[in-house]
Amino acid sequence: MLTDAEIRKSVQELVAGSLPISSMWGLDNENFVPGETVVQYSGPTWTNEEIEAAIYAILRGKWLSSGENVARFEHAVSKELGRKHSVMCNSGSSANLLMLAALKSTHTYGFKDIEVITPVVCFPTTVAPILQCGFVPRFVDIEPATLNMDLDLFERAITEKTKAVMFSHVLGNPPDMDRVVKICTERNLLLLEDNCDALGSTWRGKPLGSFGLMSSHSFYPSHHITTGEGGLVSMDDDVLARVLRSI
């Protein structure tokens, strides 16, 4: 049987001989022609080292999915955001669904027919889980200049049935998070951040994704970093973390 060192060497030789990568989009210095070479808007890029790591994880990992590499990744994201827990799943869309589903648990809030405020201009994956969980979306208009939720309208839209607000930081640009947190605290609302567009962005030095009760993240190829497919929910509450893992 091959040792770990021998397996790693074999994988490196395989990748180097069969899959040499200079750039996923042909943007290496030798072939790039200013004004002619098309620069793609987005897309996954990776190096030989990342391909080697993926192959090695399949060959020697203890689990094919949600194994030791996932646990390390969850810990790294939690540390980056300054949160206690992160729970990985298959997509950012599922992460949004998990956040809302966790609010229905009798171990957390036991919500049923509540209202959840969300911007009228948003991603389907923000609205769909609200409906899927049996909640009622209460739409608030946006500011055309920022595409973020109008916070004056947000404050006026709150009713007795409103228990949460959920919105995405559009293209990494947040609304006034000081005011959002103030409104949520004064009106006893749960803040759920769809942070799929904003990993690495901050508000006054504090990472987006660390303001709310929970925050969702996406690692689809079109986002900041990719795991091929993948999503994640971050939070500080121990009970919520256990409920999310059970779901």
Rounded CA-CA distance 247/232 in Å is 13
**Which one-letter amino acid corresponds to residue 223?**
H
> Checking DSSP bridges between strand 136-140 and strand 162-168, what pairing results, if any?
unpaired
Catalytic residue among 75, 85, 223, 224: 223
Rounded CA-CA distance 77/69 in Å is 12
**Which one-letter amino acid corresponds to residue 21?**
I
Q: 35: which 2 tokens?
A: 């004004």
Output 73-77 pairs: Cβ under 8 A, ≥24 positions apart. Answer: 73/227, 74/232, 77/217, 77/232, 77/234
Tell me whether residue 169 is one of the annotated catalytic residues: no
Strand partners, 140: 119
Note the Cα 63 to chain centre separation in Å.
23
Q: 129: which 2 tokens?
A: 């889980």
Rounded CA-CA distance 134/131 in Å is 5
DSSP state of 142: B
**Which one-letter amino acid corresponds to residue 156?**
R
Q: 145: which 2 tokens?
A: 């200049």
Strand partners, 118: 139
Catalytic positions, written as ranges: 223
